[in-house]
Amino acid sequence: MQFHLNGFRTGNPEISEPSEQYNTSSNSDSLPNEVDVLVIGCGPAGLTLAAQLAAFPDIKTQIVDQKSGPLLLGQADGIACRTMEMFEAFGFSERVLKEAYWVNETTFWKPNDTSKDKVVRHGRIQDVEDGLSVFPHVILNQARVHDFYLEVMRNSPNRLEPHYCRRLLGLSVDTAACSAGGTRSGSSGSIPRTKDR
């Protein structure tokens, strides 16, 4: 909280004030004709980018995905300690640490030399080397991590929500605007055509 700048505001400080862009939009499921950034796909990379851009009220961002809704089951549940550092920047690392399984060491097994139908522990090593990060390597369902990103987007000034059941059908780029210096104020482009599945 920056009381000296903004004064005291009641409510949850993690939920930003709605931006003018959000307040003037129709808030329907239809896509606008023009955006600054269109993110295609609600995978880890798409959600990371959309969550970051959602923090900037002046950037008109939309995110679309061909799936019918948010991910329900994880496909890649391991979270490296460097990724945890990124989650710290988004403000949800503590929640991940609270819910996740911490991988502290790795154990190796091999067939028993005297009895081949049994296995024996062959070795054990520390999972993350000392000094690599203040965060551990953890395991948490990928869908839960996506939930955290979606919450960051919903609480952003633009209240960004994905548009599901959309596929990219085509894209046109205004090359004249791109060659004119590529400044945001001087460029224009239309949102790619999308189709409901």
Confidence of residue 187 (pLDDT cuts 50, 70, 90): very low
Confidence of residue 26 (pLDDT cuts 50, 70, 90): very low
- In whole angstroms, give the CA distance from residue 194 to residue 171: 9
- In whole angstroms, give the CA distance from residue 180 to residue 161: 32
- In whole angstroms, give the CA distance from residue 102 to residue 119: 25
pLDDT attached to residue 114: 92
Which has the closest alpha carbon to 108: 96, 95, 98, 119?
119
- Phi/psi for 86 (5° steps) reads -65, -40
pLDDT attached to residue 194: 59
- Looking at every residue in the chain, the average pLDDT score rounds to 84
Q: Look at residue 86 and tell me whether its pLDDT is greater than 70.
A: yes
8 Å CB contact between 31 and 163: yes
8 Å CB contact between 194 and 169: yes
Q: Look at residue 47 and tell me whether its pLDDT is greater than 80.
A: yes
Q: Is the pTM of this model over 0.85?
A: no
More confident: 121 or 181 = 121
- Find the range with the poorest average confidence among 7-11, 67-71, 143-147, 162-166: 7-11
Residues above pLDDT 70, as percent of the chain = 77
Q: Look at residue 7 and tell me whether its pLDDT is greater than 90.
A: no
pLDDT attached to residue 89: 95
8 Å CB contact between 62 and 163: yes
pLDDT attached to residue 98: 96
- Find the range with the poorest average confidence among 34-48, 89-103, 131-145, 183-197: 183-197
Q: Look at residue 3 and tell me whether its pLDDT is greater than 70.
A: no
- Phi/psi for 167 (5° steps) reads -125, 145
Q: 43: Cβ–Cβ under 8 A, 6 or more apart, which residues? A: none
When pLDDT is averaged across residues 43-70 and rounded to a whole number, the result is 95
Summarised one tens digit per residue, pLDDT across range 102-124 is: 998 889 999 999 998 999 998 99
Burial status of residue 173 (CB atoms within 10 A of its CB: 0-12, 13-18, 19 or more): exposed
- In whole angstroms, give the CA distance from residue 42 to residue 53: 14
